[in-house]
């Protein structure tokens, strides 16, 4: 019999313990007969509705665990039951179109998930010898990303930025662009999400008709830190089942990795561990690696991940950002300055990078166009101080041409999103990579030098300029 909380099958010789101490989400339990293993699940409370995960052994009879549910109503002396196994979640095709929590229980007011396969949330990563190497580019339809920081099929890409620069907007646009033409399973993992964001995403995906090929897993902001800390593991177990058993490719979108690290910091503090640098948990690198190393390709399929990463106070030297950078094949930096100038998506065109941007992977033409775009934008950045002090007229003819090209490239690499149509009034555009390369190549050749630069702002392909230019005045 499988328990309601998703904690596997109970052995015949059930092991019982007794609560000796409760501090918020931390619960100490004494087991006089046998000590449960680390990461084992325990249940207590009315109807076994409180789930506790064993975090450490205090002595030969006592464990300290982190509750994944609210501990309201628990008291010293309450009986606790060991399940004899780790926390597990429902997996399989029955999850498609559903929204579940860290315990694998539906939170979409739908039918309960009874019976069927389940999978433990703690799984070892695929051995290196069994991993499949891919050099396929994962096209997104967003010009700035596909040109300067192409994503890897089966790789990990990070969206870095402070508060309010558009990380979640880019994630939802990626969902919109990919789901309609992506043949695999899409899995959204919300870590520390606001309840409003979860509800809006569920409704938008339902209206777009892509929910039937998607699974949503949430550990929301109002839940205990243990739930937010383990929801990424639960989502990965679901993704691994689709990759290994169903032999399907999986697109895993995580929002937000910083909230996972933050939940781990809360758990560490509750456990009484001494903090490390900037107050983070001393086990930050290990905990992050346990999640990131499970995202990979195997012989049966690929898990491609796009992860939003909040950067505290826009400080990219913060340990949470530094440790996340090390695991990624593409880093998309979102710039507050570009957002304030109205350049959306606010991707920093010079600081964003990808390991895929090499001639052998993306091709000679793509590589050289991207290189020329970066060079032009970098030269313009260096000239800005001179322009601010002396004016554009004091530049040489060659430098003025560089400035004109760069300003047109900056505007061409903006793009109206489908998910923001209601705010901007502009219909969304999905631009294929060949169209992006063609547009940048023609701008670099000064083909549109006679057109006002504002005609290139918030358009899709370069062929839209003749239709837009007459209604635009040079600013």
Whose CA is closest to 75, among 22, 116, 35, 127?
22
Task: From the candidates 23, 76, 180, 194, give the one annotated as an active-site residue.
Answer: 194
Task: From the candidates 193, 240, 266, 453, give the one annotated as an active-site residue.
Answer: 193
Active site residue 193: yes
Residues 74 and 454: their CA atoms lie apart, in Å, by 63
Active site residue 407: no
Active site residue 194: yes
The helix-helix angle for 167-179 and 195-208 (nearest 10°) equals 20
Whose CA is closest to 158, among 335, 323, 306?
306
Query: Degrees (nearest 5) of the Cα angle 229, 304, 358?
Result: 125
Task: From the candidates 64, 98, 118, 167, give the one annotated as an active-site residue.
Answer: 167
The 10 Å Cβ neighbour count of residue 255 is 25
User: Are the beta carbons of 85 and 53 closer than 8 angstroms?
Assistant: no
Question: Which positions are catalytic?
Answer: 167, 193-194
């Amino acid at each position: 019999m499988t328990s309601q909380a998703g904690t596997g099958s109970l052995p015949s010789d059930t092991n019982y313990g007794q609560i000796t101490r409760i501090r918020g989400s931390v619960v100490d339990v004494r087991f006089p007969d046998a000590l449960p293993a680390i990461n084992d699940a325990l249940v207590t409370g009315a109807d076994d509705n409180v789930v506790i995960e064993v975090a450490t052994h205090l002595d030969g009879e006592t464990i300290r665990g982190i509750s994944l549910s609210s501990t309201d109503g628990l008291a010293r002396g309450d009986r606790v039951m060991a399940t004899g196994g780790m926390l597990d979640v429902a997996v399989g095709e029955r999850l498609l179109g559903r929204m579940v929590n860290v315990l694998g229980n539906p939170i979409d007011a739908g039918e309960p998930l009874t019976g069927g396969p389940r999978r433990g949330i703690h799984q070892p990563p695929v051995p290196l010898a069994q991993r499949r190497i891919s050099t396929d580019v994962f096209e997104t339809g967003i010009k700035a990303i596909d040109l300067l920081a192409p994503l890897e099929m089966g790789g990990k890409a990070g969206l870095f930025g402070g508060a309010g620069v558009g990380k979640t907007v880019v994630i939802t646009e990626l969902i919109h662009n990919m789901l309609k033409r992506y043949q695999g399973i899409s899995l959204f993992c919300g870590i520390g999400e606001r309840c409003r964001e979860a509800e809006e995403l569920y409704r938008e995906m339902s209206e777009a008709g892509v929910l039937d090929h998607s699974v949503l897993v949430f550990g929301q902001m109002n839940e205990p830190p243990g739930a937010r800390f383990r929801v990424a593991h639960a989502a990965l177990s679901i993704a691994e089942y689709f990759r290994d058993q169903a032999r399907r490719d999986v697109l895993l979108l995580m929002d937000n990795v910083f909230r996972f690290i933050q939940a781990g910091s809360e758990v560490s503090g509750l456990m009484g561990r001494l903090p490390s640098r900037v107050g983070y948990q001393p086990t930050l690198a290990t905990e992050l690696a346990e999640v990131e190393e499970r995202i990979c390709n195997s012989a049966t399929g690929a898990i491609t991940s796009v992860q939003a990463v909040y950067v505290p106070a826009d400080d990219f030297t913060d340990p949470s950002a530094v440790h996340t950078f090390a695991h990624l094949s593409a880093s998309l930096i979102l710039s507050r300055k570009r957002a304030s100038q109205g350049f959306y998506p606010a991707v920093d065109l010079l600081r964003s990078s990808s390991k895929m941007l090499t001639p052998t992977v993306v091709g000679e033409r793509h590589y050289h166009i991207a290189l020329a775009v970066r060079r032009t934008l970098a030269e313009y950045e260096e000239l800005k101080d001179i322009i601010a002090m002396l004016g554009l007229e004091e530049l040489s003819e060659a430098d003025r041409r560089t400035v004109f090209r760069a300003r047109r490239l900056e505007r061409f690499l903006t793009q109206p999103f489908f998910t923001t149509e209601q705010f901007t009034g502009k219909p969304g555009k999905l631009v294929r990579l060949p169209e992006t390369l063609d547009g940048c190549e023609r701008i670099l050749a000064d083909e549109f030098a006679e057109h006002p630069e504002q005609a290139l702002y918030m358009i899709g392909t370069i062929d839209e300029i003749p239709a837009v230019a007459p209604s635009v005045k040079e600013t």
